Amino acid sequence: METSEMLKSFGLSDKAVELGEKYEKELEKRFEEIDKTAEYNQLKVIKAMQENRLSDIHFAATTGYGYNDIGRETLEKVYASIFHTEDALVRPQITCGTHALTIALAANLRPGDELLSPVGKPYDTLEGVIGIKEQKGSLKEFGISYSQVDLLPDGGFDLNGIKKAINEKTKMVTIQRSKGYQTRPTLSVERIGELISFIRSVKPEVIIMVDNCYGEFVEKIEPSDVGADLCVGSLIKNPGGGLVASGGYIVGKEEYIENCAFRLTAPGLGKEVGATLGINQSMFQGLFLAPTVVASALKGAIFAAKIFEDLGYPCIPNGTEPRYDIIQAVTLGSAEKLIAFCGGIQAASPVDSFVVPEGWAMPGYNSDVIMAAGNFIQGSSIELSADGPITEPYAVYFQGGLTWYHAKLGILTALDRVLKTEK
């Protein structure tokens, strides 16, 4: 059986299969460039593991307090080597990206300090953390204020606005690399570096944190290479490679990482406790696989952009722009099409393919959200998934794909479902 016939056995129409073949051929050179970046990052990961003398003894489990967990300590050294930072905190006890960001913020801000976002509103789940939306335990409740400068209409930085917003209270700046549930451009590491340089020229001592979620290993360098004091992310996204069941990371300057460790565990305990319960091997192995897994996700994102853009749906980024994260936003224009797209992703999944996704009031979001994710690890967005708020402009945010072939199947199934709504 030919591959095209195998695709049709999933119920795909001739048109969807033909479009897939057409655009895959058109993207061959683009895919080669992605593979080159993946190779570079793969070598970077291997080098970090070798330099830190990774051994199978580092895969052993610890329980209870987790004292003297040499695997955990080595993993954190490997992360620090990859990101070129002084220290790292990499723990399964960090439940998600929002938790990792909360730790970094709460650990390094004190009552009377101010947090500044120079790139507009942060991701929805951080609104309650900061206190933009009233929430128990927010930074606002502890006397930490918040200031925001929106991006210019063309996506550029409002440098005059940022300069005015920085004041004697400004202790920390948070920069979100990815777009979240917005249709603004994702920031390249180069642009983040330019923004960091400008902020340093105004207030050199300010702490600069980058929310690096969805961006790891997309480029050859990370925000920590261009001056970020802290980089934060989730292990069920890019750096976990699809194998890590839970966790997050924070890399950066030793002083700030120590603060984060005291916030995660307890003052005086810090990094010395935290049993890994046998998860070390998957954390190392997932990191080893991450560059090639990210490459597969990037191919899927570009493939989706190329197809849907040519069919008249606005895409950010479009099918030819450089990629700085794994997320592909497609504005579908109606709830029916948004639901159809997510239904297609779910139907193409290896897990729960028979489930029909529906929108619901997810905690931390401002409207009903629909999520399609037939994943081996719940909520893993390096695995093939799609989601979006069921509200105008009815944009879907597609990401992930542990293999390019699964990403391709998911996109073609989603395409088929959307095309059927047009009839």
Exposed/middle/buried for residue 193 (C-beta within 10 Å: 0-12, 13-18, 19+)? middle
Domain boundary among 232, 256, 278: 278
For residues 267 and 162, give the distance between their C-alpha atoms in angstroms, rounded to a whole number: 34
Given a cut of 90, whether residue 254 has pLDDT beyond it is: yes
Contact assessment for residue 384 and residue 410, using Cβ atoms and an 8 Å cutoff: yes
Name the DSSP letter for residue 252: E
CATH code of 409's domain? 3.90.1150.60
For residues 300 and 303, give the distance between their C-alpha atoms in angstroms, rounded to a whole number: 5
- Judge whether 81 lies within some domain: yes
Given a cut of 90, whether residue 322 has pLDDT beyond it is: yes
CA 294 to chain centre: 11
**Own/partner long-range contacts of 203-207 (Cβ < 8 Å, ≥24 apart):** 203/166, 203/170, 206/166, 206/170, 206/171, 206/172, 206/173, 207/108, 207/171, 207/172, 207/173, 207/256
If asked whether residues 416 and 304 sit together in one domain, one would say yes
If asked whether residues 128 and 226 sit together in one domain, one would say yes
Q: Worst-scoring range by mean pLDDT, 1-10, 16-25, 39-48, 188-197?
A: 1-10
User: In terms of residues, how long is the chain?
Assistant: 423
If asked whether residues 386 and 345 sit together in one domain, one would say yes
Q: Are β-strands 145-148 and 114-117 bridged in parallel, bridged antiparallel, or unpaired?
A: parallel
Q: What is the predicted pLDDT for the residue at 306? A: 96
In which domain, by residue range, is 335 found? 3-42+288-421
Q: What is the predicted pLDDT for the residue at 364? A: 63
If asked whether residues 186 and 241 sit together in one domain, one would say yes
Provide, rounded to the nearest whole percent, the portion of the chain with pLDDT above 70: 98
Q: What amino acid is encoded at 200 in this protein?
A: R
If asked whether residues 237 and 339 sit together in one domain, one would say no
For residues 250 and 351, give the distance between their C-alpha atoms in angstroms, rounded to a whole number: 30
If asked whether residues 31 and 13 sit together in one domain, one would say yes
**Strand stretches in 38-144, DSSP E:** 87-91, 114-117
Structure-block tokens of residue 314 = 């606005």
- pLDDT tens, position by position, 402-412: 999 999 999 99
Task: Kindly state the helix (H) or strand (E) to which residue 58 belongs, with its residue range.
Answer: none
Confidence of residue 80 (pLDDT cuts 50, 70, 90): very high
Given a cut of 80, whether residue 29 has pLDDT beyond it is: yes
pTM for the full predicted model: 0.95
- pLDDT tens, position by position, 104-159: 999 999 999 999 999 999 988 899 999 999 999 999 999 999 999 999 999 999 99
CA dist list (Å): 35 to 32, 201, 218, 299, 305: 5, 37, 11, 9, 18
Given a cut of 80, whether residue 180 has pLDDT beyond it is: no
CA 20 to chain centre: 26
If asked whether residues 261 and 334 sit together in one domain, one would say no
Q: What is the predicted pLDDT for the residue at 61? A: 95
Given a cut of 70, whether residue 365 has pLDDT beyond it is: no
As for how many domains the chain has, the answer is 2
- Whole-angstrom Cα Rg for the chain: 21
If asked whether residues 363 and 217 sit together in one domain, one would say no
Rounded to the nearest 10 degrees, the angle between the axes of helix 28-51 and helix 14-26 is 70
For residues 374 and 380, give the distance between their C-alpha atoms in angstroms, rounded to a whole number: 9
CATH code of 183's domain? 3.40.640.10
- Judge whether 344 lies within some domain: yes
Contact assessment for residue 85 and residue 252, using Cβ atoms and an 8 Å cutoff: yes
Can you tell me the mean pLDDT for 336-340?
96
- Judge whether 352 lies within some domain: yes
